[in-house]
Amino acid sequence: MSLSSSFSTPCFYILFVLCSVRLGFKCGGQLNTPTGVITSPNYPNRYPHSRSCTWDITVPEGRRVTLTFSDLRLEAPSSDLCKSDYVEVFDELYGTLVSLGRWCHNIEPPDLRSTSNRMVVVFRSDATTNGNGFSARWDVVIPEHTFQ
C-alpha cells in the first residue's frame, strides 16, 4: 500500500483546514475593542487564494471608528473596478451599510472615519494571483460635536 493511497480526500481536507487555522489563515470576526489591527490572512506574506473575510468593528454608542491603512499590496486589477482581490470598507448609516470605497493593488485608502459606532471591513481574494495583503489599524474617537 502506497502512502498516497492511504489518505482520502476528507482526511486531506481536515488536515488542510487544521493547518490553515494553525498558520493564521483564519480571518474576520466581531471586534469590539477600542483599538486594534486587522490584517489579511498570512500577512505580511502572500495571502491564500479564494478567501472572503469580514471584520465587523463596533465601538460604544456615541463614538466613531477611524481606520488607517499602513500597507496595501494586492493583486493588480484587470480593470478599474477592483473585482479580483480587494478591500472594501462600509459605514453603518441609519441601519444600512454604505460603502466608503473599494481598494486594490497598491493604492492605500485615505484615513477613514465612520458616521456611527460601526464599521465593516471586507477582504476578498480570487483563485488566481495573490499579493502580500494589507494591514490596518482602527481606533475609537469621540465626535467633535456631541448633542446630549
Percent of the chain with pLDDT over 90: 70
Q: How far is CA 31 from CA 98, 113, 143, in A?
A: 19, 16, 20
Residue 117 has pLDDT above 90, yes or no: yes
Residue 25 has pLDDT above 90, yes or no: no
pLDDT band at 15 (very low <50, low <70, confident <90, very high): very low
What DSSP assignment string belongs to the chain?
A: --TGGG--HHHHHHHHHHHHHHTT----EEE-SSEEEEE-TTTTSPPPSS-EEEEEEE--TT-EEEEEEEEEE-PPPSSTT--SSEEEEEEEETTEEEEEEEE-TT-PPPPEE-SSSEEEEEEE--SS----EEEEEEEEE--SS---
Domains and CATH numbers, the chain: 28-141 (2.60.120.290)
pTM value is 0.80
Q: What is the mean pLDDT of residues 4-33?
A: 53
Identify residue 87 by its one-letter amino acid code.
Answer: V
pLDDT band at 8 (very low <50, low <70, confident <90, very high): very low
Q: What pLDDT is recorded for position 26?
A: 76
72 contact partners, CB below 8 Å, separation of at least 6 = 87, 103, 105, 106, 107, 108, 109, 134
Q: What pLDDT is recorded for position 53?
A: 98
